[in-house]
Amino acid sequence: MASESLTASGYIKHHLVNLTWGKFPEGYEHAGHWGFAHSAADAKAMGFWAIHVDTMFWSILLGALFLLLFRRVAKNATAATPGGLQNFVEWIVEFVDGIVRATFTGRNAMVAPMALTIFIWVFLINAMDLIPVDWIPQVAALIGSNVFGMDPHHVFFKVVPSTDPNATFGMALAVFALSIFYSFKIKGVGGFAAELTMHPFSSSNKLLQLVLIPINFLLEFVSLLAKPLSLSLRLYGNMFAGEMIFILIALMYSGGLMLGIFGGFLQMGWAIFHVLIITLQAFIFMVLTVVYMDLAYQTDEH
């Protein structure tokens, strides 16, 4: 798409900008009005309340696809000879259930369905990275120019929500909020406060313990905040790097026949390897979510 009229640097930048809808600030031609950003600078100037339309679209669409597919399988499930799709879904459900049983020591009927949802949803989001980088953006550019009269070079459309830190931080913060909620619910305010202030350093001397409380709180608070940060950045970093490699390989197609053929083999090899990455990242996100929920339920002193 953009490789015919943009430099290599411009092509890369074009693929790394989200389709952003927001309010144009003062100093812009359409100041005070809402609309789509025409550049990365426009998107940045729109500030916090701007919406990444492409991220929201694909996240919601793939989430709905997961729900409809699994609902259909559950509705048509049979105890006789099951079909291939039912066997596959049952295998995934049993696999996730086994992980939850081995990791989560509490009793909460929500954890296993949540783990299943996270695993499939994140996998589907990540799997969008296997679609050639120009296919869907080309369709978006055609729709933007023919339907909305937009300049094709101003139509940005990323198709991998997990390469948007807003999406990964949003998911991580949702997990973090649940773990905090259940920490208060299971341990109580006093128990959770003690967990943050009485560890890792402790003493039978009351005066010394008072001195250690702020130190413990600082260490535990940093550790607490590191959970959503690491959960989000791990997924974002791995998927962003994978997307960048696909974009760099795509540049080879504009370098001549031989370089294009070589790029095709590279793309195939990286796509095969990337299947492992997208699956592993979905699995890690799910497992860490279950681990954080388990930590919220742990009340025993060791």
Tokens found for residue 258: 């031989």
Q: Is there a catalytic annotation at residue 234?
A: yes
Q: Which residue(s) pair with 89 in the sheet?
A: none
Q: Measure the CA–CA gap between 102 and 227, rounded to whole angstroms.
A: 21
Tell me the CA distances in angstroms from 2 to 89, 188, 197, one per residue in order.
39, 56, 55
Separation of CA 261 from chain center = 32
Tokens found for residue 228: 């959503």
Spot the catalytic one: 39, 145, 234, 254.
234
Q: Which residue(s) pair with 51 in the sheet?
A: 21
- Could you tell me which of 49, 24, 27, 25 has the C-alpha nearest to residue 35? 24
Tokens found for residue 225: 């905040």
CA-derived radius of gyration, the chain: 24
Q: Measure the CA–CA gap between 282 and 114, rounded to whole angstroms.
A: 13
Tell me the CA distances in angstroms from 19 to 4, 155, 156, 174, one per residue in order.
21, 7, 5, 24
3-state secondary structure of 150: coil
Tell me the CA distances in angstroms from 299 to 147, 187, 216, 228, one per residue in order.
58, 6, 18, 21
Taking phi over 0 as left and psi of -120 to 50 as alpha, with beta for the rest, 4 belongs to alpha
Spot the catalytic one: 108, 230, 232, 254.
230
Q: What residues are labeled active site?
A: 230, 234, 238
